[in-house]
Amino acid sequence: MISLRVVCVLLGCMLLAGGCAPRVVQPPFPAPPAVRDIDCLEQDLMVYARALPQPDAPLLTLQDQERQTGFFLRRFFAAWDMRAPSMPRHTMFADLRATLDGKGWGANLLPVPPARTESLWQRCRTGEYPSLAVPAIITGNTSLRMAPDDEPFFRDPARAGEGYPFDYFQYSALWAGMPVFVVHASSDGGWLLCETPLAAGWVRARDVAYVDSGFMNAYRTGMYAAVVADDTPLRTAEGRWVLTAHTGAVFPVDKADAAGLVLRVPVRGADGGAGIRLVHVSYGAAARMPLPLTPVAVAMVGNGMMRQPYGWGGLLENRDCSAAMHDLFAPFGIWLPRNSSQQARAGALVSLEEMTPPQREAHILEQGVPFFSFIWMRGHIGLYLGPDRQDCAAGKPLMFHNVWGIRTGGGRAPEGRLVIGRAVVTTLHAGEEYPQVRKNWMLDRIRGLTLLPPQVP
């Protein structure tokens, strides 16, 4: 998790409008900008689900959903079946070496000194990798990092689309309860290099607990629940807070009663080993997996993410575009990879690259399955909701996505960003009412339509 000191520096620099740095990117329009789609379209997924001919009809048969859930759980627990690292040294550290070889800017928006990059590299002890091979579990919501360090590593903040929040050391957020396999430790012991179901990276040692066969047997109950309401506090029967859980987090079910579910939540002991605390949650906060997959159910889970801040790589426990899709479908037992290009290929990918913008839009309307298809662009992905059936954008395809901003300028004009910075519903023409936004900027980037469910062995 990014340190409090980093957050304070970043906020201070923004509030002082450049007082911490010699260069400032000036937006080409008044701030905060309004986007017509967001003001005009209902920012409520239930509106679009209820507009479908069969909003409560299953998007998968029960048999197919159970099969998907079986694959989800195999992927989720795969780290505990490992006996040795799956990645050789040159592969494990390739991204970090390439990133450190480029110029970076720190939390103060000044260039990172060479001494810091060298210190980071030395802290990795690459020559001693792998030094561990131990199953473990994440006990607190945390970050998966490229380097064993909380400090951000930005590219040139004077360039649009760089600087905050694009911390190049940030791989992903990890929710508590995720099994991992520890393969290495930093020189100071404060960071552990872990292979996780999503990716490999560094995690704060304080957020990891080692597990033994007894714990793993107790944790694999065969009955699991996923959190479906963000920021759900998990408390013991005595009311003691254990954890604040996020949508998409998965925990084993200890038992169920009329009021809700009793979940087994991992905690880290003083010796670094894992223990279990029992917590009680209502059925509105968590659901047995798999939650029946219908447009209304997807809308219910997705509405919990609506308007939430954008978080590059899960920065500050927020979501980017692909994290939103991953967490949205987890309660339904649908396993999705971490990044957008992998998610696009998880289902049946229909290429739209050779089509014109109007053809792409028409094909999405003809072939897309509302609430069960992805619209994929270069570096971005979102959920297709069907056509707008109201007056705002009548007949145009709609998309639910967590997006940082809309590219402006280009050519002779300086490039900028119209910042949205949250999860929203838009058409594929968002922001085109601004003269600085190129017509068909979204449609030109669309590469494909992904029809779910994912293909599983």
Summarised one tens digit per residue, pLDDT across range 391-410 is: 899 999 999 999 999 999 87
Q: What is the CATH number of the domain that holds 333?
A: 3.90.1720.10
Do 38 and 149 share a structural domain?
no
Do 333 and 273 share a structural domain?
no
Domain range for residue 151? Answer: 61-289
Looking at the 3D structure of the chain, how many domains does it have?
2
Q: How many CB atoms lie within 10 A of CB 439?
A: 9
Is 4 a domain residue?
no
Last residue of a domain, one of 289, 323, 355: 289
Is 1 a domain residue?
no
Do 221 and 131 share a structural domain?
yes
- 346, pLDDT greater than 60: yes
Structure tokens at 221: 């109950």
Structure tokens at 19: 């007082």
* Structural element, H or E, at residue 331: none
Place of tokens 């649009």: 160
Do 408 and 271 share a structural domain?
no
Is 17 a domain residue?
no
Whole-number Å distance between alpha carbons of 310 and 312 = 7
Contact 110, 179 (CB under 8 A): no
Summarised one tens digit per residue, pLDDT across range 275-325 is: 999 999 999 999 999 999 999 999 999 999 999 999 999 999 999 999 999
Whole-number Å distance between alpha carbons of 298 and 42 = 16
Last residue of a domain, one of 239, 256, 289: 289
Whole-number Å distance between alpha carbons of 292 and 64 = 11
- Averaged pLDDT, 249-266: 96
Last residue of a domain, one of 265, 289, 313: 289
Do 445 and 312 share a structural domain?
yes
| pLDDT score for 32 | 57
Do 228 and 79 share a structural domain?
yes
**Average pLDDT of the chain to the nearest whole number:** 93
